[in-house]
Amino acid sequence: MPKIIIPTKLETVCKELLEAQGYEVIQDGKTELKALLEKHRDAVGLVVRSEKITAEVIDMLPSLRLVVRAGAGYNTIDIKHARSRNVAVMNTPGANSNAVAEEAVGLMIAGARYFVEGDKTTRAGLWEKNKYMGSEITGKTVGILGFGNIGQLLAKRLRGFDVKLKIYDPFVSLDKAREHGAEIASMEDIFATCDFLSLHLPATKETEKIISTQFFSLMKDGAVLVNCARSEVLDEEALREARKTKRIVFCNDVYDKDEAGLKTCNDIADIMLPHLGASTFEANNNAARMAANQTINFLDRGLAMHVVNKSIPDGLAPEYQQLSSALARFARSYIGAKAPVFEIQASFYGKLKDFSRWLIPPIVAAISGDNKITDIDQAEEYLKSRGITCKIRDTDEGKRYGESITVDLISGAQQMDRVSVRGTLTEGNIILSRMGEFGKLYYEPTGHTAVFVYDDRPGVLAQISQSMALEGLNIEDIRSPHNESGSKSIAILKLNAEPAVELIEKVGRLLHCHAAFTVHI
Ligand code: NAD
């Protein structure tokens, strides 16, 4: 059993999910890291939080293939050294976005309603009710700077307050802004007109101290400024100056160092929290789940999601790798798990045609069942060693397939058996759109799927459903179009649990199916 070490106090759901998938998991947040690893030098994976994963630590584990940071920041991991050892490093972005978005709402209200001062003075025996006349968010203008994961979730959470939303993010489209009922505005306009402003941009060279005098000078008196992003984006000295002439309520969660000691913003912050943005049970749980799923996807299926030390290019959404893998697995199951494959033909439509070197490895890993294939060199080596040709077809962009992928497998004694599977991505979900002669499937190929291909006639679906029900299997989704001539039909069923292979084969025989198989993703 491959061994995964979790040398930290991570939610146990990570361990449980990995164990359910057959991994041996050692979770120990007490033993000193190196002492722990010394005992488990055969580990293939590490799931960590903020432990320091240095070159020395990486070198202690000769079989290591993966380090997953359950969380977003990975500056505690030597990612370059990991790459040189062919160890993938992943993070779990977005797991804590909602926690931060909620914190921002909380800080806006706490700042505008004097929660902290109210608490302190009442606790001290005073009654300063008249001093703390606050203002409401409802109906106000709120500005969000940086409209990524957190910024967008914040916009969603603010909907109930009927606010007018203005956003600034140079990389966000008008459509995305409209989807959130927001107006794209300049930073000047946001600072001049907003009653509440929340920062959600990354710390980069371009954003360093970007929130400075020119914007503070525009701010409304009494406006609330929340920083749950990074301390580097705000010019504290400029804020100090601005607060001399007007009231700016500043609520802060982030510092140049996450450690005890007086903070440089002590005198200018109305509320200071010790970087609590991501500190919720739910965010921890999400990160633990994502870490487990990404580990399983990588080690079992060769799918590399959120790899931070491997250059999946910016323009390629990682879900497309998941899509190529899923299509290949469906094609593989259709043509027969043991049928020798002689040729793979793949078509990458739209922008995907520039990314074939990242989309081919998941196909080869899925077809071969060799989940160690994660890059193009390994994929090519495998194909060469098996004498399998892999052709990337020229695509006819006139076909208006958008960003989609087709995987064809050619097999059979005369190399005449062929199956072609096509899919795309819709709203971030992978979708199977065609399999063999059956189009317009629009099926999400995840979970437990059973497929039956049969001569079209009434009553077959009912018989299939009944056979599943008799085994206690619930059908969660079903697609059943027929082919163009109407002679054959396909039934694709999403089941709530894995069906026994014998059951599917039995139903296949009973209904004289041309094909009957299962796929689990
Ligand atoms: P994200 O990458 O999803 O979004 C960041 C957005 O900022 C992107 O849409 C990007 O286009 C935009 N952006 C980049 N440069 C910009 C600029 N010059 N002006 C305006 N927008 C710009 O990131 P996210 O997950 O939403 O995180 C946002 C911030 O929150 C990050 O700084 C992150 O470090 C911080 N964060 C804080 C906590 C916490 O505990 N307080 C937790 C998680 C993340």
Query: What are 113-142's pLDDT values in tens digits?
Result: 999 999 999 999 999 999 999 999 999 999
For ligand 1, is residue 277 a contact (CB within 6 Å)? yes
More confident residue, 107 or 396: 107
pLDDT computed for residue 376 by the predictor: 82
Yes or no: say if 334 and 262 are a contact pair by the CB < 8 Å rule.
Answer: no
E strands in 402-487: 404-411, 417-426, 429-435, 448-455, 475-479
Q: If phi over 0 gives left and psi between -120 and 50 gives alpha, with beta otherwise, what is residue 125?
A: left
Q: Evaluate if pTM is beyond 0.75.
A: no
Specify the DSSP class assigned to residue 445.
-
Specify the DSSP class assigned to residue 443.
B
Pick the CATH number of 312-431 from 2.40.50.100, 3.30.1330.90, 3.10.20.30, 3.40.50.300: 3.30.1330.90
Contacts of 305 (CB under 8 A, 6+ apart): 90, 294, 297, 298, 318, 321, 322
More confident residue, 309 or 283: 283
How far does residue 288's CA lie from ligand 1's centre (Å)? 21
Residues of the chain with CATH 3.30.70.260: 447-521
How far does residue 97's CA lie from ligand 1's centre (Å)? 10
Yes or no: say if 108 and 224 are a contact pair by the CB < 8 Å rule.
Answer: yes
Residues of the chain with CATH 3.30.1330.90: 312-431
Ligand 1 test: best mutation among 97, 100, 280, most atoms within 8 Å of CB?
100
Yes or no: say if 34 and 51 are a contact pair by the CB < 8 Å rule.
Answer: no
* pLDDT over 60 (residue 233): yes
Ligand 1 test: best mutation among 154, 200, 306, most atoms within 8 Å of CB?
200
- 3-95+281-301 belongs to which CATH class? alpha beta
pLDDT computed for residue 458 by the predictor: 93
For ligand 1, is residue 97 a contact (CB within 6 Å)? yes
Ordered alpha helix ranges (H), 97-250: 97-112, 115-123, 149-158, 174-179, 187-193, 213-216, 236-245
How far does residue 258's CA lie from ligand 1's centre (Å)? 18
pLDDT computed for residue 357 by the predictor: 86
Pick the CATH number of 447-521 from 1.10.287.130, 3.30.1360.120, 3.30.70.260, 3.40.50.880: 3.30.70.260
Topology, domain 97-272? Rossmann fold (3.40.50)
How far does residue 145's CA lie from ligand 1's centre (Å)? 9
**How far, in Å, CA of 52 to CA of 349, rounded?**
42
Q: What confidence tens digit (pLDDT) does each residue in 234-272 have? A: 999 999 999 999 999 999 999 999 899 999 999 999 999
How far does residue 91's CA lie from ligand 1's centre (Å)? 15
pLDDT computed for residue 305 by the predictor: 81
Yes or no: say if 348 and 425 are a contact pair by the CB < 8 Å rule.
Answer: no
**Residue 210 alpha carbon, nearest atom of ligand 1:** 18
